[in-house]
Amino acid sequence: MAEPLIELRGVSKAFGNTVVLDQVDLTIYQGDAVAVIGPSGTGKSTVLRLIAGLLEPDSGEIYLKGQRREGLTDEGRDSVGVGMVFQQAALFDSLTVDENVGFLLYQHSKLPANAIHELVNRNLEMVGLSGIGDRYPAQLSGGMRQRVSFARAIMKNPENPADNPEVLLYDEPTAGLDPIASTVIEDLIRTLQCAEDGCTSYVIVTHQHSTIRRTANRVIFLYQGKVQWQGPVNDIETTNNPIVRQFFAGSVEGPIHIVST
């Protein structure tokens, strides 16, 4: 097995009196393509925010390449040097789509504006949104905004490949998209994983069957604060785990309690 890239050891997190994660152990390996799945409200996004360094655990430890992370992260580059991008980050309302997608390059690279503009256009085209660079987020539908934030997350810096993220964190990247737009994003997630300069890792939170199937090699199932099951994506068909079986059958009968969220 590849090297552990990210490890959560005994991580707990509560909001008020609600314990969302209860001593969770979870490992992401170099080159991993993992889907974190489970019913709504079980802490999947919380896991991503902890990994991204946007939240701190109440107890337990987070290791990146074997080094313990202390504190929160600064602009996606972790103190121990693991570049991460969190796709769900909000767009800046006062900036155009072009300025949002190219944000990091406009801020931190020496590339001329027209070169950044070209990279932005290429990414917009990849997510099926050519020609909307001049619009503002408020002028877009929810699904379009989501794809713009995706286009921003996958922006690479050709000037300095060392700045390119090693880990992409996707929070429901296909939620609310129609089936064709979903397929575009799912195929992109796959193709983006490996480029000339090597393979990255990603963790994806999703509910959508097609997204689990098309993007994940491995699945981690969270429920009631714990990892209830994990295994290769094909094993979700054959596992006897009653929680996993109920979830994929969409059944109201079984160990998962129906809650109104």
* Alpha-carbon span 116 to 126, nearest angstrom: 15
* Closest CB to ligand ADP among residues 136, 248: 248
- The answer to whether the CB of 30 falls within 8 A of the CB of 37 is no
Per residue in 141-172, is it b (16+ CB within 10 Å) or e — as a string? eebbbbbbbbbbbbbbbeeeeebbbbbbbbbb
Q: In this structure, what token pair is assigned to residue 178?
A: 């129609």
Helix axes 142-153, 113-126, angle to 10 degrees: 120
For ligand ADP, the binding residue among 2, 25, 40, 68 (CB under 6 A) is: 40
Q: Is 73 in the site for ligand ADP (CB under 6 A)?
A: no
* Alpha-carbon span 252 to 240, nearest angstrom: 17
Region near ligand ADP per CB under 6 A, out of 39-47, 118-126, 150-158, 173-181: 39-47
Per-residue binding string, ligand ADP, 2-21, x by CB under 6 A, is -------------x--x-x-
Q: Is 92 in the site for ligand ADP (CB under 6 A)?
A: no
CB of 222 to ligand ADP, least distance (A): 7
Q: Is 116 in the site for ligand ADP (CB under 6 A)?
A: no
Cβ burial, residue 11 (10 Å; 0-12/13-18/19+): buried
For ligand ADP, the binding residue among 6, 7, 8, 46 (CB under 6 A) is: 46
Q: Is 142 in the site for ligand ADP (CB under 6 A)?
A: no
Q: How many residues bind ligand ADP (CB under 6 A)?
A: 11
For ligand ADP, the binding residue among 24, 44, 168, 216 (CB under 6 A) is: 44
Per-residue binding string, ligand ADP, 166-185, x by CB under 6 A, is --------------------
List residues near ligand ADP by CB under 6 A.
Answer: 15, 18, 20, 40-46, 205
